[in-house]
């Protein structure tokens, strides 16, 4: 008499994961999502609580997972940002909580972060670096710098109360994880009285300001979910930048550097503004992963 294979009876109520992911890819592709397979796999990994690279270790999933996964895929197909669905965005070696009311950090900003770390490495080892992050949003750049350089004094400035609440939440989480605290400032980066106590002391000033021209046509994830206060910078996208530049010059020490992210349509104009100011040298335009202009760096005289 043949005995039933009890060892596999629990698989009867489970479903293969890979066909679910393949269906999700088809749905997201039809919805116009730019990275359908990546997003489908990241959503699955999020629900399973594993790294995306370990999905193969979970060939079968429960019925509850399937229902929840299909619901998440449906929301992504409606062009809700992936990061709003997972609740997280990465910068450097840390994850940040994000959601409605705060700008979602982009992978391209990793280039600005890496540039800042490279410059900090050139400073004398007995020097306590001072770093300022303008328009910090979720706190991404400021907190990533503080994690990578616990010896630095990091200040972050944000005008929008909703975004600032996300930055505080992330800052508290990083303190709980053992990182050096940062100092958050609820202020306007164009205010001529901003951070006067730091005048002439800042080594690195980073900025990811509102820089999109007001008539730009945006993807639904951006237009409908990122706060407009964090996106638009006037007709040419440089209104906030124009107001920031005098403050940047005032705050930086001689030899201090700034890196300012910009729209791919206005990088040369931003570089020209820095040159015209007269207080900066070594103005360099930096491309992103796709070769598009992404941020401009310069050194204070």
Query: What are the backbone dihedrals phi and psi of residue 257, each rounded to the nearest 5 degrees, phi first?
Result: -125, 155
Residue reference for tokens 């999020």: 46
Helix (H) or strand (E) holding 256: strand 252-261
C-beta separation of 252 from 288 below 8 A: no
| Burial profile 81-108: b = 16 or more Cβ within 10 angstroms, e = fewer | bbbbbbebbebbebebbbbebbbbbbeb
Q: What DSSP string runs through 112-178?
A: HHHHHHHHHTTS-TTS--EEEEES-TTTHHHHHHHHH-TTSEEEEEE--HHHHHHHHHHHHHHHHTT
Is 235 annotated in a binding site? The answer is: no
| Distance of alpha carbon 81 from alpha carbon 89, whole angstroms | 11
Helix (H) or strand (E) holding 45: helix 36-48
Helix (H/G/I), strand (E/B), else coil: 255: strand
Is 158 annotated in a binding site? The answer is: yes
Give residues with Cβ within 8 angstroms of 64, minimum separation 6.
none
Is 19 annotated in a binding site? The answer is: no
Is 210 annotated in a binding site? The answer is: yes
Is 209 annotated in a binding site? The answer is: yes
| Distance of alpha carbon 67 from alpha carbon 63, whole angstroms | 6
Q: Which of 68, 67, 60, 69 is nearest to 25 (CA)?
A: 69
Helix (H/G/I), strand (E/B), else coil: 184: strand
Give residues with Cβ within 8 angstroms of 141, minimum separation 6.
91, 109, 112, 113, 116, 133, 156, 206, 208
Binding site residue list for S-adenosyl-L-methionine = 158, 208
Binding site residue list = 158, 208-211
Binding site residue list for substrate = 208-211
């Amino acid at each position: 008499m043949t005995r039933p294979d009890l060892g596999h009876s629990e698989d009867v109520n489970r479903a293969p994961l890979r066909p679910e992911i393949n269906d999700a890819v088809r749905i997201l592709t039809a919805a116009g999502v730019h990275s359908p397979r990546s997003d489908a796999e990241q959503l699955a990994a999020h629900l399973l609580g594993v790294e995306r690279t370990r999905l193969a270790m979970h060939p079968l999933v429960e019925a509850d997972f399937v229902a929840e996964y299909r619901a998440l895929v449906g929301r992504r197909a409606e062009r809700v940002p992936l990061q709003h669905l997972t609740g997280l965005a990465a910068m450097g070696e840390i994850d940040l909580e994000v959601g409605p009311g705060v700008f979602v950090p982009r992978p391209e900003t990793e280039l600005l972060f890496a540039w800042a770390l490279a410059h900090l490495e050139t400073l004398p080892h007995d020097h306590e670096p001072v770093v300022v992050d303008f328009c910090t949003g979720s706190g991404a750049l400021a907190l990533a710098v503080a994690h990578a350089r616990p010896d630095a004094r990091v200040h972050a400035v944000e005008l929008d109360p909703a975004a600032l609440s996300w930055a505080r939440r992330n800052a508290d989480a990083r303190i709980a994880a053992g990182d050096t605290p940062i100092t958050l400032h609820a202020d306007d980066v164009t205010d001529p009285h901003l951070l006067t106590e730091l005048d002439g002391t800042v080594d690195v000033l980073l900025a990811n300001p509102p820089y999109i021209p007001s008539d730009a046509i945006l993807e639904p994830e951006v237009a409908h979910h990122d706060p407009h206060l964090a996106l638009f910078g006037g007709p040419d996208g440089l209104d906030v930048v124009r107001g920031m530049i005098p403050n940047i010059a005032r705050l930086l020490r001689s030899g201090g550097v700034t890196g300012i992210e910009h729209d791919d349509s206005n990088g040369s104009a931003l570089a020209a503004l820095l040159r015209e100011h007269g207080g900066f040298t070594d103005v360099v335009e930096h491309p992103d992963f796709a070769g598009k202009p992404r941020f401009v760096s310069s050194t204070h005289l």
